[in-house]
């Protein structure tokens, strides 16, 4: 009697669960095909995204002239001849390979295969701005001294203001300026003994004829969602976009519709919210105002939307519940 009762209960449960099976499979299919979740899975599965300072190796079978090593600059761009600067920051190696192949085919129409691999990249990244022969970012295996850094970049340019060089370092949630005097390079006295740290920015300003050297506090302080939070040295009104590019450009997570700009008119501070997208999409100069020495610019970060935060969590819970339900259904009907 007990066996008969159990079989009867299983049959009843089977009848009830059959009606739910299509809905459960639909949940699983939606989860699998949802592009937002596929993207989230890609990141969580550990696929490497290229970033400033990464070195890549490029090669093509039968084309030795294309073989090279390239380091992504502070904006995540790679300078590759003959196509010029290519934005690779934020891409996977597969995506970077596809983009490079597409652009190289404009010059090499018969190019069939292209290989892009990660090179050897040090864990210490130093950013370089101003009158230096190699702008962008350099990677080191260990923190270099200031002298080692100057040698690695091949020295400053002829119009460099060596006396007013400075290092910008992120400390206590904000940039701290360390003045460094490099004028001893010209007469063989070397440079001061200063140990660089990961994320430091070395700025060597330009020596402009007839204009006094630019002190650190005379530049535009740029922070937030930019490639290199720093003080950009300017001596006159400069367009906001130019200043942001000197700070490594807005990052992928930058909220270009809300850029906070503080300007002092000699009497008091004025705070303005700038919509840079108006300039980028419509060419509206209101989205690209002139900023001046002493101004402050803060680029806001994008806040994750509901589709990228709550939705994956809800669908994940539904998938887990569906999996348990299907397993239970299989046991009952076994």
Of 118, 140, 162, the residue at which a domain comes to its end is 118
Does 188 share its domain with 142?
A: yes
Does 74 share its domain with 145?
A: no
Over residues 63-85, the pLDDT tens digits come to 888 888 888 876 788 888 888 88
Q: How far apart are CA 252 and CA 90, in angstroms?
A: 8
β-partners of residue 221 are 231, 296
pTM given for the model? 0.36
Decide if 326 contacts 14 (C-beta within 8 A). Answer: no
> What pLDDT, on the 0 to 100 scale, is given for residue 259?
94
Over residues 183-204, the pLDDT tens digits come to 777 666 666 678 898 888 888 8
Phi-psi region of 33 (alpha: psi -120 to 50; beta: other; left: phi over 0): alpha
The answer to whether position 236 is within a domain reads no
Q: How far apart are CA 238 and CA 138, in angstroms?
A: 27
The answer to whether position 179 is within a domain reads yes
Decide if 207 contacts 235 (C-beta within 8 A). Answer: no
User: Can you point out the beta strands (E) in the chain?
Assistant: 55-59, 68-71, 77-80, 84-87, 115-118, 124-130, 136-140, 165-171, 174-180, 201-204, 220-224, 230-232, 238-239, 254-264, 269-274, 290-291, 296-301
- What's the CATH code of the domain at 68? 3.30.1950.10
> pLDDT tier at 297 (50, 70, 90 boundaries)?
very high
Laid out side by side, the sheet with 165-171 consists of: 136-140, 124-130, 201-204, 165-171, 174-180
Of 213, 230, 264, the residue at which a domain comes to its end is 213
Does 209 share its domain with 136?
A: yes
Q: How far apart are CA 243 and CA 266, in angstroms?
A: 21
> What pLDDT, on the 0 to 100 scale, is given for residue 274?
93
The answer to whether position 256 is within a domain reads no
Does 135 share its domain with 204?
A: yes
Pairing of strands 174-180, 165-171: antiparallel
Q: What value does the CA radius of gyration of the chain take, rounded to a whole number of Å? A: 28
Residue span of the structural domain in which 85 resides = 55-118
> pLDDT tier at 278 (50, 70, 90 boundaries)?
confident
Does 101 share its domain with 130?
A: no
The answer to whether position 68 is within a domain reads yes
The total number of structural domains in the chain stands at: 2
CA distance readout (Å), 105 to 1, 78, 83, 99, 180? 77, 17, 10, 10, 46
- Half-sphere exposure (Cβ direction) of 247: Cα atoms closer than 13 Å: 28
Q: Token pair for residue 232?
A: 């950009």
The answer to whether position 141 is within a domain reads yes
Does 138 share its domain with 112?
A: no
> What pLDDT, on the 0 to 100 scale, is given for residue 218?
67
Over residues 149-170, the pLDDT tens digits come to 888 777 787 778 888 888 998 8
Does 93 share its domain with 137?
A: no
Does 88 share its domain with 104?
A: yes
Over residues 34-47, the pLDDT tens digits come to 444 433 333 434 46
Does 184 share its domain with 160?
A: yes
For residue 35, give every residue at least 6 positions away whose Cβ sits within 8 Å of its Cβ, in sequence order, or none.
none
Does 71 share its domain with 98?
A: yes
The answer to whether position 156 is within a domain reads yes
Choose among 90, 193, 198: nearest CA to 138: 198
For residue 4, give every residue at least 6 positions away whose Cβ sits within 8 Å of its Cβ, in sequence order, or none.
none
Percentage helix, strand, coil for the chain under 3-state DSSP, each rounded to 5 = 35, 30, 35
> Could you say which DSSP state residue 76 is in?
S
- What's the CATH code of the domain at 189? 3.10.560.10
Does 196 share its domain with 134?
A: yes
Of 213, 247, 263, the residue at which a domain comes to its end is 213
Identify which has the larger pLDDT, 225 or 14: 225
Choose among 6, 115, 21: nearest CA to 63: 115
The answer to whether position 6 is within a domain reads no
Does 128 share its domain with 111?
A: no
Q: Token pair for residue 184?
A: 């001893």
The answer to whether position 199 is within a domain reads yes
């Amino acid at each position: 009697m007990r066996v008969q009762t159990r079989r009867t209960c299983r049959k009843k449960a089977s009848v009830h669960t059959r009606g739910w099976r299509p809905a459960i499979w639909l949940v699983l299919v939606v989860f699998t095909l949802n592009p937002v979740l596929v993207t989230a899975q890609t990141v969580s599965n550990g696929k490497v995204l290229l970033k400033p300072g990464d070195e890549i190796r490029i090669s093509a079978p039968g084309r030795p002239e294309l073989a090279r090593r390239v380091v992504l600059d502070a904006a995540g761009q790679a300078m590759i001849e003959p196509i010029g600067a290519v934005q690779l920051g934020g891409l996977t190696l597969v995506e970077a390979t596809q983009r490079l192949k597409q652009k190289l085919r404009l010059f090499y129409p018969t190019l069939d295969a292209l290989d892009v691999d990660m090179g050897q990249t040090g864990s210490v990244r130093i950013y370089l701005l101003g009158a230096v022969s190699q702008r962008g970012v350099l990677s080191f295996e260990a923190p270099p001294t200031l002298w080692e850094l100057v040698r690695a970049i091949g020295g400053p340019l002829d119009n460099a203001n060596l006396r007013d060089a400075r290092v910008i370092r992120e400390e206590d949630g904000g940039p701290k300026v360390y003045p460094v005097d490099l004028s001893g390079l010209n007469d063989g006295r070397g440079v001061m003994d200063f140990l660089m740290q990961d994320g430091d920015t070395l700025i060597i300003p330009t020596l402009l004829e007839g204009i006094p050297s630019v002190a650190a506090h005379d530049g535009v302080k740029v922070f937030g969602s930019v490639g290199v939070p720093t003080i950009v040295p300017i001596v006159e009104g400069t367009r906001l976009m130019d200043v942001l590019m000197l700070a490594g450009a807005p990052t992928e997570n930058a909220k270009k519709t809300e850029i906070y700009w503080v300007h002092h008119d000699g009497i008091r501070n004025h705070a303005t919210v700038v919509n840079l997208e108006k300039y980028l999409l419509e060419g509206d100069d209101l989205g690209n105002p002139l900023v001046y020495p002493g101004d402050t610019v803060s680029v806001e970060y994008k806040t994750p939307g509901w589709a990228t935060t709550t939705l994956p969590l809800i669908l994940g819970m539904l998938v887990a519940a569906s999996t348990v339900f299907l397993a239970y259904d299989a046991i009952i009907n076994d």
